Structure 1
Amino acid sequence: MAAQEGRTVAVVRHPDRDQAAALEGDIRRWLEDHGHHATAPLEAADLVVSIGGDGTMLRAVDQASRQGTPVLGINVGQLGYLAEVDPSDWEAALERWHRGEARVVERMALAVRVERHGSAPAPPDDAPEPLPDGSYLALNEVVVEKTPTGRMVRLGVVLDGEDFNTYAADGMIVATPTGSTAYALSARGPIVDPEHRAIVLTPVAPHMLFDRALVLTPGTEVRLEIRGDRPATVALDGRSIGELEVGDALIATAAARPARLLTFGGHTFHSILKAKFGLEDR
């Protein structure tokens, strides 16, 4: 394969980890020494390098997916599911990318929009940035759940325009296969290989007999309506976008453009599962 030449690379790092800050300096120098241009995270780039854990990776993917830019994750911290390159291997990974040997895998993302009956409150300071049409992207999941000081909420689930059920629960998770090992896993949702395309709907602590997760086709439109008399909160990939009032709704569908992750065939999904859960051959 032909070597990469004169590429623009955005570097994103965890803001509070000294190791991430040191790696950022080393990576920027390496890129400049190899004829590439290291740039700020929000500028147009040919590659985004994320230095941190899965949270840092999710933020990098949120920005990179808007231009279809692939993301290389360097894991600083505990073993995660997204950032696959160990800190000691970053130079070898970039050398392989420089030589054109990296592979890009595509992961399904969610497109999420909110319908409000009243005016929208000001979003939290750390809220993700919406797309120009007002929708949001999520690689892992969107979560609608009770407010921090509230009791359970009533959530109406409408699938492809057909009323399915009203759940009395602590919340509802709409996840991608990539997100099946995030919050949905702790709510006893299924583990789905991240290279599949599907929408996983998992109730959180439902107060009802039907408490099973649903694995839906990727073309399904999932609408969650706030029913009853209590508001709910909404978070995308762990970042709050505020509250929904009774009568408001959230709509989630498969995003038109997938997230693109750089991989070198290192940590496989199965090997990460084994390590995370301490699984051993008998």
Structure 2
Amino acid sequence: MSQKIAFLASDAPVAQTARAALIGRYGDVPPEQAEVIVALGGDGYMLRTLHAMQNLPAPVYGMNRGTIGFLMNEYSETDLLDRLAAAEEEVINPLAMTAMDRSGRMHKALAINEVSLLRAGPQAAKLKITVDGRLRLAELVCDGALLSTPAGSTAYNYSAHGPILPIGSDVLALTAIAAFRPRRWRGALLPKTARVRFDVVDPDKRPVMADADSISITDIDWVEIRSDPEIEHRILFDPGHGLEERLISEQFT
């Protein structure tokens, strides 16, 4: 059975070569006409594709032509139609970030993995953390902090010693990055509905930047983050290799 497939690829030569080979075998349509979008590259390219295609109805099936490829399936040219027919779908809601910089300019961005705040100078950052309007931490002295979705919990969050979250869990991970005070504070698990606000303390001496899936905002005054249930990213995985299995496997490697 034929399918209308749009093949997208990163600029890497190996990804462009794969795209040409797949188009020669299966044809190609514009993403707006596609029943499924095949993304060729690494995790970074997959995130960019999901953001760019979020208003289209077609799900995205990734094949790894990058490095780690946590969000991707293995690459193969010969059995794509069978794999697409058997693929299992995961639905991910992104985080919506609203940030005010110190000039008073408002910035908005979406993050599938995480929103992170990072010190932008030699001094450690000082952050005040409020959850659903209630002050929870008056001062966190750190290199930064992040709020992660389950899908992003094995990325920067895990490197910062945050917890790995099951993909179906309705929670977000709030994780400190190299916390100095409180020294033993590693973060918190929050309900998916939580609204988290970071206020930068002493920004003249301790400037902070915010990053939402590599969209960076400098010289931040405050940031508010919430999950956006109205946006759904549909990702396809080969049976037995979905995000749920990968999240579990990652904890035993």
Residue of structure 2 aligned with 1:21, choices 13, 16, 19: 16
SS of structure 2 residue aligned to 1:216 = strand
2:79 counterpart residue number: 92
Residue of structure 2 aligned with 1:217, choices 188, 191, 206: 191
1:191 counterpart residue number: 164
**Superposition TM-score, scaled by structure 2 size:** 0.86
Query: CA offset at residue 57 of structure 1?
Result: 0.8
Q: 2:149, 2:16 → 1: CA distance? A: 31
> Structure 1 residues 270 and 218, CA, compared in 2 at 3 Å: closer, same or farther?
closer
1:124 counterpart residue number: none
How do 1:264-275 and structure 2 match up within 5 A?
A: 264-269=238-243, 272=246
Residue of structure 2 aligned with 1:236, choices 212, 216, 233: 212
Q: 2:26, 2:98 → 1: CA distance? A: 38
1:257 counterpart residue number: 231
Q: 2:176, 2:195 → 1: CA distance? A: 17
The answer to whether the Cα contact below 8 Å between 2:176 and 2:187 also exists between their aligned partners in 1 is: yes
Residue of structure 1 aligned with 2:123, choices 136, 148, 151: 151
Residue of structure 2 aligned with 1:176, choices 149, 155, 165: 149
The answer to whether the Cα contact below 8 Å between 2:128 and 2:199 also exists between their aligned partners in 1 is: yes
Q: 2:207, 2:47 → 1: CA distance? A: 27
Q: What is the one-letter code of the residue matched to 1:15?
A: D
Report whether the alignment pairs 1:49 with 2:48.
Answer: no
The answer to whether the Cα contact below 8 Å between 1:79 and 1:276 also exists between their aligned partners in 2 is: no
SS of structure 1 residue aligned to 2:79 = helix
How do 1:121-140 and structure 2 match up within 5 A?
A: 135-140=108-113
1:102 counterpart residue number: 87
The answer to whether the Cα contact below 8 Å between 1:174 and 1:200 also exists between their aligned partners in 2 is: yes
Residue of structure 2 aligned with 1:63, choices 43, 48, 52: 52
Q: 1:101, 1:265 → 2: CA distance? A: 7
Q: What is the one-letter code of the residue matched to 1:29?
A: G
SS of structure 1 residue aligned to 2:164 = coil
Question: RMSD over aligned Cα, in angstroms?
Answer: 2.5
Number of aligned positions between the proteins? 248
The answer to whether the Cα contact below 8 Å between 1:201 and 1:216 also exists between their aligned partners in 2 is: yes
The answer to whether the Cα contact below 8 Å between 2:92 and 2:234 also exists between their aligned partners in 1 is: yes
Query: CA offset at residue 67 of structure 1?
Result: 3.1
> Structure 1 residues 70 and 168, CA, compared in 2 at 3 Å: closer, same or farther?
same
Q: Structure 1: where are the runs of 5+ without partners?
A: 122-133
Q: Which has the larger share of strand?
A: 2
1:73 counterpart residue number: 62
The answer to whether the Cα contact below 8 Å between 2:167 and 2:244 also exists between their aligned partners in 1 is: no
